[in-house]
């Protein structure tokens, strides 16, 4: 399979090249060129399959040409070593809990898959000294750092906005040491992302070192996220609840939503996707007006979605560019919602009172969007929201809202006891480049 750039000005790339380069030479995002649709009977059969079997089937369609099958299935098995249960909240509403991995957020899945796939290519090709640059608003850094920890021949640099990530998130990537370096940037997430993008475009830095990205711009992180959409559908199909399915996705950089749209594009029957934003509502605004106006990100209590210029927007436009009126098609397929911190708090309180279910602030946006969409449609269909983080990951916020004590899982406790090591840097590219070239 070849990968093209969303900007259409870079040459086609192999999977290996797309994974190692991250971003295409024309600053576009890589997309797979011609994916086979999954046949209806294959999707229908999934209700009798385990998550691992489903993920192997989907990954064969995506990566089967480029990676030895046994190896691919081993990568899948090593990625999915934790549960992803579906939990009902009242009638016809389900939470897909994607947060039972090592860093308590859904990003563990894409990050672990990517780390193993990259390690496979590095070993197969005898490549040395690959540097992974990753910008984080909190959760990506921890998932990537933990996914890559200890892998031979790979150094990871996590760029994160000073003072804008939670203590738990920070501990998860600043205390690891070994091949992981945390760079504390005096700026916002968008500044971090801009530094990473600029690094990929900088000739001198690329000549000096092999650079790749582990943000959801990387196909090896973005595509495996489609696995759990198939899995969730199959679970609901098994209990006769998959008809007219709504899937609600708490959205920031739009990688998760893009993966869902991709699954749909491969043939997964989904009636509509809901994109739930926090106050950083650039995508919501686009769906309302047709205009995409990036803005600096504002802090919110769902900080992993504090993104003002979501990278994967380019993928969504690209997926719909085959239609005569892409904007109208996007609006048909995706409904936008956005929630203030105050609304998020009210939702967390209500779900706890009604169902005893503790939402995290991101999942709360997804859950509320399902409720609001049902109200708008005037009828209820089955809805699934992606619960993207464990509430303990946002312990202070959730405890303050609910007035209860939330226990940290033991593995998170261990991070909190480690010693923070980070390198403070400004938000200017020159300073970052100087650090990188002299390290
Ligand atoms: C990253 C993240 C999101 C947003 O996902 P995108 O793919 O960036 O849209 C939502 N919730 C949590 C907990 C996250 O870590």
Walk along the chain (439 residues) and give the pLDDT tens digit of each residue: 999 999 999 999 999 999 988 889 898 999 999 888 899 999 999 999 999 999 999 999 999 999 999 999 999 999 999 999 999 998 999 999 999 999 999 999 999 999 999 999 988 988 888 999 999 987 889 999 999 999 988 999 999 999 988 888 899 999 999 999 999 999 988 899 899 989 988 999 999 999 988 887 899 999 999 999 999 999 999 999 999 999 999 999 999 999 999 999 999 999 999 999 999 999 999 999 999 999 988 999 999 899 999 999 999 999 999 999 999 999 999 999 999 999 999 999 999 999 999 999 999 999 999 999 999 998 888 999 999 999 999 999 999 999 999 998 888 888 888 899 999 999 999 999 999 999 8
Question: 361 CB less than 6 Å from ligand 1?
Answer: no
Q: How far is CA 364 from CA 45, 232, 278, in A?
A: 32, 18, 10
Question: What end-to-end distance do the CA atoms of the chain give, in Å?
Answer: 37
Query: pLDDT tens across 144-154, in order?
Result: 999 999 998 89
Question: 252 CB less than 6 Å from ligand 1?
Answer: yes
Q: Which of 107, 164, 393, 395 is catalytic?
A: 107
Domain 69-102+223-402, CATH number (from 3.40.50.1100, 3.10.450.50, 3.30.1060.10, 3.40.1390.20): 3.40.50.1100
Neighbours of 321 (CB within 10 A): 11
Separation of CA 304 and ligand 1 centre (Å): 5
Question: 24 CB less than 6 Å from ligand 1?
Answer: no
Question: 225 CB less than 6 Å from ligand 1?
Answer: no
Angle 355-281-174 from CA coordinates, rounded to 5° = 75
Do residues 113 and 219 make contact, with C-beta atoms less than 8 angstroms apart? no
Q: Is 107 a residue of the active site?
A: yes
Phi, psi of 22 (to 5 degrees): 80, -80
Cα 29 to Cα 85: distance, rounded to the nearest angstrom: 31
Cα–chain center distance at 299: 19
Q: Which of 98, 102, 106, 387 to mutate to test the pocket of ligand 1 (most atoms within 8 A of CB)?
A: 106
Q: Where are the domains of the chain?
A: 69-102+223-402
Burial 372-408 (b: 16+ CB within 10 A, else e): bbbeeeeebbbbbbbbbbbbbbbbebbeebbeeebeb
Residue 335: burial class (beta carbons within 10 Å; 0-12, 13-18, 19+): buried
Per DSSP, 360 falls in state: -
- For residue 248, which of 231, 221, 268, 229 has the smallest C-alpha distance? 229
Phi, psi of 327 (to 5 degrees): -60, -45
Per DSSP, 163 falls in state: T
């Amino acid at each position: 399979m070849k990968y093209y750039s969303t900007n259409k000005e870079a040459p086609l790339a192999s999977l290996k090249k797309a994974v190692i380069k991250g971003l295409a030479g024309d600053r576009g995002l890589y997309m797979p060129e011609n994916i086979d649709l999954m046949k209806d009977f294959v999707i229908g059969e999934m209700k009798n399959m385990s998550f691992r079997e489903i993920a192997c089937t989907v990954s064969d369609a995506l990566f089967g040409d480029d990676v030895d099958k046994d190896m691919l299935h081993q990568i899948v098995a090593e990625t999915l070593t934790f549960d992803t249960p579906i939990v009902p909240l009242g009638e016809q509403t389900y939470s897909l809990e994607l947060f039972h991995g090592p860093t308590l957020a859904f990003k563990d899945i894409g990050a672990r898959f990517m780390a193993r796939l990259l390690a496979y290519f590095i070993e197969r090709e005898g490549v040395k000294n690959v540097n992974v640059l990753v910008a984080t608003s909190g959760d990506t850094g921890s998932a990537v750092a933990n996914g890559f920890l200890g892998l031979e021949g790979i150094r990871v640099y996590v760029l994160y906005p000073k003072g804008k990530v939670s203590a738990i998130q920070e501990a998860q990537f600043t205390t690891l040491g070994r091949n992981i370096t945390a760079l504390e940037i005096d700026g916002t997430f968008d500044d971090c992302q801009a530094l990473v993008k600029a690094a990929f475009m900088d000739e001198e830095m690329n000549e000096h070192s092999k650079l790749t990205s582990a943000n959801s711009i990387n196909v090896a992180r973005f595509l495996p996220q489609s696995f759990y959409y198939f899995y969730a559908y199959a679970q609901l199909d098994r209990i006769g609840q998959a008809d007219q399915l709504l899937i609600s996705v708490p959205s920031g950089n739009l990688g998760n939503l893009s993966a869902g749209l991709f699954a749909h594009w491969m043939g997964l029957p989904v009636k509509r996707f809901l994109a739930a934003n926090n106050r950083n509502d650039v995508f919501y605004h686009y769906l309302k007006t047709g205009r995409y106006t990036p803005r600096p990100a504002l802090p919110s209590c769902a900080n992993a979605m504090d993104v003002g210029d979501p990278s994967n927007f380019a993928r969504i436009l690209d997926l719909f560019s085959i239609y005569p009126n892409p904007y109208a098609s996007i609006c048909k397929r995706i409904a936008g919602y956005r929630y203030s911190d105050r609304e998020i708090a009210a939702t967390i309180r209500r779900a706890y009172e009604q169902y005893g279910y503790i939402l995290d602030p991101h999942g709360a946006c997804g859950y509320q969007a399902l409720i609001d969409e049902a109200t708008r449609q005037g009828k209820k269909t089955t809805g699934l929201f992606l619960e993207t983080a464990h509430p303990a990951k946002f312990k202070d916020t959730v405890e303050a809202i609910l007035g209860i004590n939330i226990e940290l899982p033991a593995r998170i406790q261990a991070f909190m006891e480690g010693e923070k090591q980070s390198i403070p840097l400004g938000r200017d590219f020159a300073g970052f480049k100087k650090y990188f070239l002299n390290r």
